[in-house]
A and B are shown apart, each in its own frame.
Chain A
């Protein structure tokens, strides 16, 4: 997710300091990747430069981190536009796993083992996400579900490929 869009969206509910924006972002969207302070201030500077946010005030005695930012009308319009546009569906056409399977078949290595090893790694990741989901709130559940469904899609591909290995071997080695 673009940090700048998230900041604009968060600022719509009221002006905020850089530090508070970072905290709100980490809590809602950060998952396992909290923002670095450098990213926070670089993003705010860019938004300021483009007129999407403005300075709302500077707290007395504060350094640069005590600046308060507010969203502008142009900023609100930018959020509107971004939300209205669909995300480009991922193509998923470049996959390392497919490459590994083909190379294994080309070089006479056991391709089925690659698929089995990958399945085990995927299932371990799914167990971890399932645990996290079970112990988390609704927001955690939704984020974990998104990951789980994608891993599940990979696993279905692994199963299908395992079932088609003989055909693929014949094709790549002919």
Chain B
């Protein structure tokens, strides 16, 4: 937990976003502290993923601001935003989205290599993360040859290998059975808490939200938080 003087690590304020005639966000607000796991919940089409994409700097909101560590993402150049996404942010998606031609270890090492870390060091760190996520045995396999649960653990390792300050996870267990989904969440939330990373978790599954510290509900593009209801 953060001290009283600490400010939230990532804050989205009054976010609006439309895709053509379709309004995805209509005044959504969100904040997450370091080391906190926050679940974004809501029905399909409510704007959950758009909110995550805005917070992660993948999508630029039509209105409203996103501040990471006090800096307004809109004031960053594309290159700066790209660098931020590579080094300070980690991503886990529903389907691992691993590079099929690379081995699992190479996939995990990739963000480090893109950041200029020497191959030997990047490989060693990748292997250490694969061990931590209990999938070191598939390090030399390509993603097509591993199970869904193993692939998703590799994806979590890839998201955490740069020791990001925020991990964005969009339905990270959506393609897994209960047992594998649970293990992935356990490892993801555990590793993030240990390293002090914040986790922004989009899920429509209540059981997955059980791993969060609190939830933010999105409905019709607007956010409702538990604090507002209490």
| Residues of A in contact with B (beta carbons under 8 Å apart) | 113, 116-117, 119-120, 122-123, 126-127, 129-130, 134, 148-149, 151-152, 155-156, 159, 162-163
Closest to A117 in B: B229
| Closest Cβ–Cβ distance, residue A142 to chain B (whole Å) | 12
| Closest Cβ–Cβ distance, residue A23 to chain B (whole Å) | 31
Q: Produce 1/0 per residue, B30-44, CB < 8 A to A.
A: 000000000000010
CA distance A144 to B124 in the complex (A): 38
CA distance A123 to B205 in the complex (A): 11
Check if A113 sits within 8 Å of B43, measured CB to CB: no
- Chain A contact residues: over half helix, strand or loop, or mixed? helix
Does B95 lie at the interface of the complex (its beta carbon under 8 Å from any beta carbon of A)? no
| Closest Cβ–Cβ distance, residue B98 to chain A (whole Å) | 27
Total contacting residues, chain B, CB less than 8 A: 17
Q: Which residues on the B side are within 8 Å of A126 (C-beta)? A: 206-207, 209-210
Q: Which residues on the B side are within 8 Å of A116 (C-beta)? A: 217, 224, 229
Check if B229 sits within 8 Å of A152, measured CB to CB: no
Closest to A148 in B: B207
| Closest Cβ–Cβ distance, residue A152 to chain B (whole Å) | 5
**Of listed A120, A122, A156, residue having the most chain B CB within 10 A:** A120
User: Which chain B residues (198-230) contact chain A, with CB distance < 8 Å?
Assistant: 205-207, 209-213, 215, 217, 219, 224, 226, 229-230
Does B101 lie at the interface of the complex (its beta carbon under 8 Å from any beta carbon of A)? no
CA distance A117 to B228 in the complex (A): 10
A123 with B229, Cβ < 8 A, contacts A134-B186, A159-B43, A163-B43 known: no
Check if B207 sits within 8 Å of A123, measured CB to CB: no
A152 with B226, Cβ < 8 A, contacts A119-B217, A134-B186 known: no
Q: Which residues on the B side are within 8 Å of A129 (C-beta)? A: 210
CA distance A152 to B207 in the complex (A): 7
Check if A123 sits within 8 Å of B230, measured CB to CB: no
CA distance A49 to B205 in the complex (A): 50
| Closest Cβ–Cβ distance, residue A172 to chain B (whole Å) | 21
Q: Which residues on the B side are within 8 Å of A117 (C-beta)? A: 229
Q: Which 10 pairs of residues, A with B, have the shortest CB-CB distance? A: A130-B210, A126-B210, A155-B206, A120-B226, A152-B206, A116-B229, A152-B207, A117-B229, A127-B210, A123-B215
CA distance A119 to B41 in the complex (A): 11
**Of listed A116, A117, A149, A156, residue having the most chain B CB within 10 A:** A116
| Closest Cβ–Cβ distance, residue A114 to chain B (whole Å) | 10
Q: Which residues on the B side are within 8 Å of A122 (C-beta)? A: 206
CA distance A128 to B116 in the complex (A): 42
| Closest Cβ–Cβ distance, residue B160 to chain A (whole Å) | 19
